[in-house]
Amino acid sequence: MSTNKGRRSQAVILATLLLFLAAACRSSDETETSAGTTTPGATTAPGDTTAGETTAPSAAGPVGQGVTDTEIKIGMSIPLSGPLAVSGALSKGVAAVFNQVNAEGGIDGRQIKFVVLDDAYDPSRAASNQRQLAEQEKVFASFQFGAPALATRDYMETRKVAQFAFAGNVPLSDTDAYQYTRSLWPDVRLEMGLVTQHILKEDPDAKVGILGLNNDFTSSVIEGVEAGLGDKKDQLVAIEKYEPGAPELSGQVNKLRAAGVTALATTLQGPSAKAVEYIRQIGWEVPIYNYSNSTSKLAFLDLIPASAATGVRQARWFRDPADPALKDDAGMKEYREIIAEFGDGANPDDALVINGFGLGQAVLVALQNMAEPTPEALIESWDNLPPTPSPALPKGVEFKPVLGGRVVSSYEIVEWDGTTWKSLEPVKDAIGEGFID
C-alpha cells in the first residue's frame, strides 16, 4: 500500500508541474485572459469562445485578429508526417508565395507570418491545431488540408476565422451554411463528370468502374461519375474500395475486370500506383483516369515501370512541372526562379509544390484586394476574385470564382505518352456541363 508520504510526494510533483505549465503559459499570453472578456452573465452563441475576432477599431477602421501595423499572421494545418506526408509539399508552395511578397514589401506594408502545423491527417489534431492557430497564434486566416476541414469548419465558423481548405470534397461547396470556409481545390464532381464524358465519347456503351480509398472523398467521386453518366447511371457497374495499408490491390482489380468494366476512374496515389502496373501486367488494356491531384510524374508515374505509365490519363486543372515539354514555358521558368529563391529548398518538380504555389497566389490576390483587414472582407474579396493567371494553370485559364466558393473549374484531359502529357481534349470549363445543379 502506498503511504502518506508517497501520496504527498506525488501531489507535490503534480502541483509543481501544473504550476510550471501555468507560469509558462502566462508569460507567453500577452493579451487578456478568457475570464476577462466575456460579458458577465451572458450566454454566448453555441460553441463560441472568446470573441477575439475584432479588437477595438483603429483609426483606419476595424482590424481582424492577427493583423498589426507590421504583420499579418496566417496559419496552416497539414500532414507533415504519417501516410499522407507527401501533401506537406503544398505548404512549401504557399510559403514561397508569401516569402516573395514579403521580400517585395508585404501586403500594404505588412509582412506575412506563416505558421505551419502538422496534423498527420488526424481530424482530432487538425481541430487542435486550428484552435491553437486561432487562439494562441491568433492568426488572421488559416489553411487546412483535406477532409479534416469538415471537422474544423464548425469551429472556424463560430470563431470567425477564415479557413481555406485544400480539399475537393463535395460538402465543402456549401457556402450558404459556412461563411468562413472556402475550398481551394475544385469540386471533384467537375473532374469526374468530365472524365466520364470523355469515357462515353470514346465508347458510349462503356462500363465504368471506380477504384478508390475507403473514405468520404470516394463518395464525392461516385457522385461525380453518376452526374457525368446522367441517365446512363446503370453503366457504373463496379465500385471497389481499399484501405491505405493494403499491400496490393490484385483482388480489387480482378473483381473489377470480372464485372466487365471497360473504363476505370481511380483515386490511386503513391504506393497504390502499383495497381496500374498490375493492371497492365495481367494484360488488361482498360483506360485509366486517375485523380488529378495525385497523378504527377514525380509522385505517381515514376513509381511504376515506364510501360505501365504510358497511357495513364487524367483530367487535370494544373500543370505538371516535371513534364519535359514545359521546360521552356515562360510561366514555368518564372515559377522555378521564384521557388529557387523563395522556396526554402522545395523541389520545383513536385506537382504539389506548384499546386500550393498557384493557389497561394490566388489567396494572395484576395488578401491584397481586401477592403479592410477583416476575415469577412477577405472572404468577400475571395468570392469576387478578379481573373488571376498563374504558371500553375494551363494557358488561357485563370483563377476566378466559380460556384461553391472555389476558383477552378476548367480541366484538360491528358494522357502520358511516355515522355510528356499529351492533350486528348482541350481545356474545357466544366461548369457549363450541368454536373452540379
Partner 1 sequence: MTRRRMAIGLLGAVAFSLTFLLDDYTLFQLSRVICIGIAVIGLNLLTGHAGLISAGQGAIFGLGAYTTVVLMYHLDLPYPLAVLSSTLLCLVFGLLLGLPALRIKGIPLVLVTLSLTILFPPVVKRFDSLTGGNNGLGITQPQAPFRLDLVVPQWLYILDLAVLGLVLLVMGNLLRSRYGRALSALRTSEPLALSVGVAVRRTKIVTFGISAALAGLGGGLYLLLIAFATADTFGFALSLGMIFAVVVGGVRSWTGSLLGAAFVVFVPDYTAPLGDRGPQLVYAVALLLTVYLFPTGLAGIGQMLVNRFRPAGRDRSGQGGEGGAGIDGDPLSPAALPGSAEDQPAVRPPSAVGTAEREGVS
Partner 2 sequence: MTLLTQQVLSGLATGLIYGSLALALVVVFDGTGVLNFAQGEMAALSAYVSWQLVDKGMSYWLAFVVTIVISFVLGVIIERVLIRPVEGRAEINIVIVTLALLIGINALMGLIWGFIGKSVESPFGTGLVTIVGANLTSQQVGLAACTLVALLIVGAFFRLTPIGLIVRAASVNPGSARHLGINVGRMLGIGWGIAAAVGAVVGMATAQITGINPDMMGGVLLLAIAGYILGGEGSRIGAVVGGLIIGVLTNLGVTYIDWLGGDLQNLVPFGVIILVLLVRPQGIFGRVSAARP
Q: Which is nearer to partner 2, 232 or 274 (CB)?
A: 274
Tell me the three state secondary structure of residue 89.
helix
Q: At closest approach, how far in Å is the CB of 246 from partner 1? A: 12
Per CB under 8 A, which region of 46-54, 255-263, 372-380, 396-404 contacts partner 1?
46-54
Q: Which is nearer to partner 2, 87 or 142 (CB)?
A: 87
Q: Which is nearer to partner 2, 62 or 244 (CB)?
A: 244
Does the footprint of partner 1 cover residue 215 (CB under 8 A)?
Answer: yes
Q: What is the C-alpha separation between 267 and 195, in angstroms, rounded? A: 12
Contact in structure between 198 and 413 (CB atoms under 8 Å): yes
Residues 236-275 that bind partner 2 (CB under 8 A): 240-243, 245-248, 250-252, 254-255, 258, 270-271, 273-274
Report how far apart the first and last C-alpha atoms of the chain are (Å, whole number). 69
Note the helical H segments in 142-268: 148-159, 188-202, 216-229, 250-258
151 is in the binding site of which of partner 2, partner 1, none (Cβ under 5 to 8 A by kind)? partner 1
Structural element, H or E, at residue 7: helix 4-28
Note the helical H segments in 29-167: 34-37, 89-103, 123-131, 148-159
Q: What is the C-alpha separation between 384 and 378, in angstroms, rounded? A: 10
Of 214, 368, 419, 423, which one interacts with partner 2 (CB under 8 A)? Answer: 214
Q: At closest approach, how far in Å is the CB of 86 from partner 1? A: 10
DSSP class of residue 212 equals E
Q: At closest approach, how far in Å is the CB of 395 from partner 2? A: 28
Note the helical H segments in 230-326: 250-258, 274-281, 306-309
Does the footprint of partner 1 cover residue 274 (CB under 8 A)?
Answer: no
Phi then psi for 400, rounded to 5 degrees? -155, 155
Per CB under 8 A, which region of 21-29, 133-141, 146-154, 303-311 contacts partner 2?
303-311
Indicate the pairing of strand 421-429 with strand 111-118.
unpaired
Using CA atoms of 164, 170, 171, 172 in order, give the dihedral in degrees to the nearest 10.
Answer: 10
Q: Which is nearer to partner 1, 88 or 209 (CB)?
A: 88
Q: Which is nearer to partner 1, 156 or 407 (CB)?
A: 156
Closest by CA to 397, choosing from 417, 416, 412, is 412
Does the footprint of partner 1 cover residue 219 (CB under 8 A)?
Answer: yes
Residues 221-250 that bind partner 1 (CB under 8 A): 243
Does the footprint of partner 2 cover residue 311 (CB under 8 A)?
Answer: no
Question: 103 is written with which cell numbers?
Answer: 521580400
Helical pair 123-131 and 148-159, crossing angle rounded to 10 deg: 20
Q: What is the C-alpha separation between 106 and 111, in angstroms, rounded? A: 5
69 is in the binding site of which of partner 1, partner 2, none (Cβ under 5 to 8 A by kind)? none
Does the footprint of partner 1 cover residue 19 (CB under 8 A)?
Answer: yes
Question: Where do contacts with partner 1 occur on this chain (CB under 8 A)?
Answer: 1-4, 6-15, 17-19, 21-22, 25-26, 29, 33-35, 38, 40-41, 43-44, 46-50, 80-82, 85, 88, 117-118, 120-125, 127-128, 131-132, 135-136, 147-148, 150-151, 154-155, 171, 214-217, 219, 243
Q: Which residues bind partner 2 (CB under 8 A)?
A: 81, 83, 85-86, 214, 240-243, 245-248, 250-252, 254-255, 258, 270-271, 273-274, 278, 281-283, 298-299, 302-305, 307
